[in-house]
Structure 1
Amino acid sequence: MKAPHAEIIDAHLHLPSPRNPWEHGEESFADLQTELLLAQLDAAGVDAAVLMSEAHCAPAARCRAAVARHPDRLATVLDYDEIAAGAAESSTAGPSAAEPGAAGLVARVAEQPGVLGLRLTTAWPPDNIERLRSGAYEDMLDAAETHGVPVCFLGPGHLPDLAAVARAHPSLPLVVDHFGLHQPPYMPADDPPWRDFGELLKLAELPNVSVKLSGAPTLSTAPYPYPDLRPPLERVLDAFGVDRCMWATDQHRVFGRLHGFPEVPRYPGYHSYAQGLHYLLDHVELSPSERTALFGGTARRVLGWTDRHRGTGATDGPATG
């Protein structure tokens, strides 16, 4: 009999796209994406995953639908700008008190089965970072703090801005995507790749900030198991502790398999899904409790993925567009 293992959760994935064009309808395409994703998880021995919505390659509605079909294995984090735009488009009466606004959107997200949090992206479009600095997201951040809705932050080069948010909202769970660094293939790595690493380590002083160890092999200049990653990874683990670090891959960006994006050629740091797990699972010394936390426990706790988020209804309601 196979020995039981600690649960493994990939804290950051998108819905994958098939290599060949799909001409059999939207509904079956959504089913295909979910089947590809689950097959990939099964092949690598990963139990569950958190889907990140993105308007162009993994819309919120499609992520919620996948979660509704497989609530025990999938959950989602929704891109805030996407759902806010969707709510605005769904309003037929123009701006009015009936529109949910940021506070209403966050409140509805907090109630939706399978929806764990929101994502704030300052990497694109370019004016998003100025919107953050000007206070355009304050209502959302206030509401997220009130309702205990975690906010994931994609903002390479903008970690000092995240530090300001963390200080202004000390009880708001904030999660740094991809170490806060530029990563291939869609963002060229910095020179050197870990140039802004010090800004990430400074965030360890803020107890409401966690970090996803996602996409790290894209920054390696060595073959698997990427020995040049061990020093920075050990520094992250030492600074934040495993109770604020979560394993993740963002593998469909790594593969260049995001729907609507062009395929990318192989590049230094390109790696398989299994390699994206085992370079860390098999080659970093961890105690059993640390392993349990890093590969699932921290994601469960920080993102609040509990039985409350399981069940049907993840596609109900117009608030998230």
Structure 2
Amino acid sequence: MDIVDSQVHVFHKHTEQEALAAMDALGITGVLIDEMWAFGPNGTLPPEKELPNGAVRPLTPLSQAAALKFPHRFSLLQRVSREDPDLPALFAMLGATPGCRAVRLNCLPRLEQIALAEGGHDEVLKLARRYEFPVFVIIPGGGPEAMRKICRKFSDVQFILDHCGRTESSSQWDDVLTLSDCPNLAMKWCHPHHYFKDAGPYPFPGHRVQLGRAVESFGVNRLMWASDISADGGGVSWAELLFTIRDNPSLSLNDKEWLLGKTARTVLKWDASPAHTNSPQA
């Protein structure tokens, strides 16, 4: 089975070679890297560069190198700040960066959710549309209407809702599942053990129940698996996070193929061949 893990901070707790060894042991074909070396002070996530206007630009030097050396095994996403003063130039560079498959917005702060709904991220999203980058969005379960509004406004941009919508209650999870009515929104199934507290021991039967609800709402072709194992503090292993889906008797082989790899490959346009670059639309 072709397995793609759609989020690992490879250089946080693993070297490139350590990640490859673990991937080989687990049968994981590819990893999408969100480069982060540490949790720094005051919410910083190095490597990053403070710009003259005070904005911070995340950097991805090691993941770019990994994608060049191992294009079948590694691709990357780029976190982007709406306050970056050189967004057009940045996106032009990203569009020519081998292996760069997507960008990511952090809308956890309430002010950023408001900005998302009121157009504060529109320049980023217009550039993502121009360069055909999917957009990962971190937004808590309390903000589904902001997500719905932006999906409708940018109906030709592919969005991926991070971390099961970061739901904090069963009612919020119900609200997140209603977002399946946005055809340009997919969901990253990641950290369910942080958001669904009735999981039980491995193989986490409680998670499987909620995954079944997500499959029913979104369909397997809009759900992609991620471990985020390098930043997970839930006391679970990479193998457990993978095998609870791979060995789930309630899922068909077709379901598993989509959840564990095909959705990510389709949405990210990553065909496991040597990396190709994005080019702007005319």
**TM-score normalised per structure 1:** 0.73
Q: Work out the CA distance in 1 between the residues paired with 2:244 and 2:193.
A: 8
Say if 2:158 is the partner of 1:169: no
Q: Which residue of 1 aligns with 2:112?
A: 128
Q: Work out the CA distance in 2 between the residues paired with 1:108 and 1:249.
A: 28
TM-fit CA distance, 1:309: 6.1
Q: Which residue of 2 aligns with 1:152?
A: 136
Change (3 A) 1:41 1:155: same
SS class of match (1:78): strand
In the alignment of these two chains, the number of paired residues is 257
Select 1:253's aligned residue among 231, 236, 242: 231
Compare CA radii of gyration and give the structure with the larger one. 1
Q: Which residue of 1 aligns with 2:18?
A: 36
Q: Deviations over 1:85-116 (max 9, x none)?
A: 4xx5xxxxxxxxxxxx4344334323321000
Q: Work out the CA distance in 1 between the residues paired with 2:98 and 2:273.
A: 7
Change (3 A) 1:297 1:38: same
TM-fit CA distance, 1:303: 1.2
Say if 2:63 is the partner of 1:63: yes
Select 1:225's aligned residue among 203, 228, 231: 203
SS class of match (1:204): helix
Q: Read off the aligned partner of 1:147 and give its amino acid letter.
A: Y
Q: Deviations over 1:160-190 (max 9, x none)?
A: 21111100011100001111115xxxxxxx3
TM-fit CA distance, 1:146: 2.9
Select 1:301's aligned residue among 266, 269, 277: 266
Change (3 A) 1:309 1:166: farther
Q: Work out the CA distance in 1 between the residues paired with 2:171 and 2:258.
A: 28
Do the aligned residues in 2 keep the contact of 1:144 with 1:151 (CA within 8 Å)? yes
Select 2:33's aligned residue among 51, 66, 90: 51
Do the aligned residues in 1 keep the contact of 2:114 with 2:146 (CA within 8 Å)? no
Q: Work out the CA distance in 2 between the residues paired with 1:103 and 1:17.
A: 29
TM-fit CA distance, 1:245: 0.6
Change (3 A) 1:195 1:60: farther
Question: Which has the higher mean CA deviation after the structures are superposed, 6-15 or 59-68?
Answer: 59-68
Change (3 A) 1:111 1:276: same
Do the aligned residues in 1 keep the contact of 2:163 with 2:191 (CA within 8 Å)? yes
Q: Which residue of 1 aligns with 2:213?
A: 235
Q: Read off the aligned partner of 1:68 and give its amino acid letter.
A: L
TM-fit CA distance, 1:306: 3.3
Change (3 A) 1:272 1:158: same
Do the aligned residues in 2 keep the contact of 1:217 with 1:270 (CA within 8 Å)? no
SS class of match (1:49): strand
Q: Deviations over 1:114-149 (max 9, x none)?
A: 00010001125x643343234221111112123321
TM-fit CA distance, 1:17: 3.6
Q: Per chain length, whose mean CA-contact separation is higher, i.e. which structure has more relative contact order (CA < 8 Å, sep 6+)?
A: 1
SS class of match (1:196): helix
SS class of match (2:31): strand
Counting only pairs closer than 5 Å after superposition, residues 204-219 of structure 1 correspond to structure 2 as 204-218=180-194, 219=196
Q: Work out the CA distance in 2 between the residues paired with 1:112 and 1:286.
A: 36
Do the aligned residues in 2 keep the contact of 1:11 with 1:246 (CA within 8 Å)? yes
TM-fit CA distance, 1:60: 1.7
Do the aligned residues in 2 keep the contact of 1:112 with 1:309 (CA within 8 Å)? no
Q: Work out the CA distance in 2 between the residues paired with 1:151 and 1:290.
A: 23
Q: Work out the CA distance in 2 between the residues paired with 1:159 and 1:60.
A: 29
SS class of match (2:248): coil
Name structure 1 gaps, 5 residues minimum: 1-5, 19-31, 89-100, 183-189, 256-268, 314-321
**TM-score normalised per structure 2:** 0.82
